[in-house]
Chains A and B, each alone.
Chain A
Amino acid sequence: MLFLHERHEILAGTGAEFEAAYRDTWMPRLARDDDARLIWYWRHANASSRPNNIVTISAVKDARALGRLSESLQHGELAGFASHLDTLRRDVVSSVLTPTRFSELNEIDFATVGADAKQRHERTMYVEDVVWPPSLDDYVAMAGESWYRPAAAGTGKVRARISHPAFFQVAYGAGVRPEVYLIQKLIDPPEMFVRNLLATDYPPEMKAPDHYFVRGLAVRDQWESRIMSNAEWSPLD
């Protein structure tokens, strides 16, 4: 399973139209066949980092299906859709992600992924951490054992409760290496995240030499966190 990650820098004021294009055209178009689905539509929270950014993630069955999708966007049925989006955005950068061996999200039964433009769920918040470790494999091993698994199991000590739906790396030749994506869904209310994480210094125990956060500095100290609001119609809640 591959995951097409697209970061769109949209023009100010075009958010509703851009979102409608993904909800009303892209999502049902992918669902017409059995080899791809939109799974998340995220609005990168303004006043947190980059303005006017949207992230979309679509699951694609395999490399051949990804090729068909690429062809359709470039030369085929979806070329007009892409050109329409171009009038609403300044830029778009696409990467292809693949699950690390730890990722909970791995294979997806596409029959279970909704694609109805009218579908709704509670608005949810995600934090997407994009990490640039010096050594990809060393980081994946350490983060997988010491951070991802405990956090996903609810046994890790974190300052806001999260679930951990996915842990991706970039597919060869289709983005940055080393680059890793930790997809974290907030379970606690957003206010707790803001108060306990954003507005609070690291507690003393997180500065202890044997704490994962400190030990982890050997394998990573460069990352970017992106606070994402998941659209109410986004197929995965």
Chain B
Amino acid sequence: MLVIRETHRVIGLHQDNFEKLVRDEWMPAVASDPGTRLLWYFNHAHGSSISFNVVTVTGVEDWDAWGRLGERVQSGDLQDLAYRMDRMRYGTVAAIHEPLDWSPFHGPSLAAVSPGGADHDRTMYIEDTIQADGGAFEAGPEAVRAAYGGNIDPSAPGLTELTAAFRPVAVAGRRGEIVLLQRVRDLGALAQYYLDGEAGEGAPWSATHAPTPFTDTWTTRVLRAAPWSPLP
């Protein structure tokens, strides 16, 4: 399983129409190939950082499926939809990722992912992107695992739980990046953390972790899964 993680810089006036277009047309069209499914649609929470950013995560079964999807977008049945999406955004930045060995998420069976979306409560995530540098690229994932102070075990209590850990494949992305997608369990606890800075159990990477063998820097995004997002 590969995942395409895209950040869309949406034009503010088109925010709602962009989401409708993805939900009503793009998501089912992508799913017409059994090897591809939209998995998550996130809004980058306003008030936390940059405005009008949307993050989508698309699962592709293998490299052949990615190749087919690329051809559909460039010159096939998805070209017009992509063109219409382009009219509603300033651009997108994408990379192809693979789950790390220790990621709880290894990709669901794509056949089990609804091509028409779902209906669930909004879910909040803290997404931390860590840059392992100083030549520690290969050792980075294990170093992050060793330093991680949050919950890899979903049964353990705490502020967040690790949903997925990814890194870009070698040919499409920035070498050395590690992405942690951490589901927020308790909004009140998150608010309290923002207020007092005291990280409790199961805190995300950006709240607490052990020392790392690389420059300790990362970026955090507060993401909110749309209630129709195929995965909550």
User: Which A residues fall within an 8 A CB radius of B?
Assistant: 4, 62-64, 66-67, 69-70, 73-74, 79, 82-83, 86-87, 90-96, 98, 101, 132, 134-137, 169, 171-179
Q: Please, which residues of chain B bring their CB within 8 A of the CB of A93?
A: 173-175
A87–B137 Cα distance when bound, in Å, is 10
Q: Known contacts being A64-B64, A176-B91, is A86 close to B171, with CB within 8 Å?
A: no
State which of B4, B67, B138 has its C-beta within 8 Å of the C-beta of A86: B138
User: Considering only CB atoms, which chain A residue lies closest to B168 in the complex?
Assistant: A94
Whether B171 contacts A69 by the Cβ 8 Å rule is: yes
What distance in Å separates the Cβ of A220 from its nearest Cβ neighbour in chain B? 12
User: Considering only CB atoms, which chain B residue lies closest to A170 in the complex?
Assistant: B94
Q: Please, which residues of chain A bring their CB within 8 A of the CB of B62?
A: 67
Residues of chain B from 89 to 138 with CB closer than 8 A to chain A in the complex: 90-96, 98, 133, 135, 137-138
Q: Known contacts being A86-B137, A98-B70, A137-B86, is A73 close to B92, with CB within 8 Å?
A: no
Instruction: Among A70, A98, A179, find the residue whose CB has the most chain B CB atoms closer than 10 A.
Output: A70
Question: Once A and B bind, how many residue pairs between them come within 8 Å at the CB atom?
Answer: 121
A64–B35 Cα distance when bound, in Å, is 14
A86–B175 Cα distance when bound, in Å, is 9
Q: Known contacts being A73-B170, A169-B74, A173-B172, is A178 close to B94, with CB within 8 Å?
A: no
Whether B75 contacts A101 by the Cβ 8 Å rule is: yes
Q: Please, which residues of chain A bring their CB within 8 A of the CB of B70?
A: 63, 98, 171-174
A66–B58 Cα distance when bound, in Å, is 19
What distance in Å separates the Cβ of A183 from its nearest Cβ neighbour in chain B? 18
What distance in Å separates the Cβ of A178 from its nearest Cβ neighbour in chain B? 6
- Asked whether B66 is an interface residue with its Cβ less than 8 Å from the other chain, the reply is yes
A206–B58 Cα distance when bound, in Å, is 44
State which of B73, B92, B137, B168 has its C-beta within 8 Å of the C-beta of A176: B92
A185–B172 Cα distance when bound, in Å, is 25
- Asked whether B83 is an interface residue with its Cβ less than 8 Å from the other chain, the reply is yes
Q: Known contacts being A64-B64, A134-B90, is A173 close to B83, with CB within 8 Å?
A: no
Q: A63-B66, A94-B172, A137-B79 are in contact. List 9 more A-B contacts (CB 8 A).
A: A4-B171, A66-B63, A66-B171, A67-B62, A70-B169, A91-B176, A135-B83, A136-B86, A137-B86
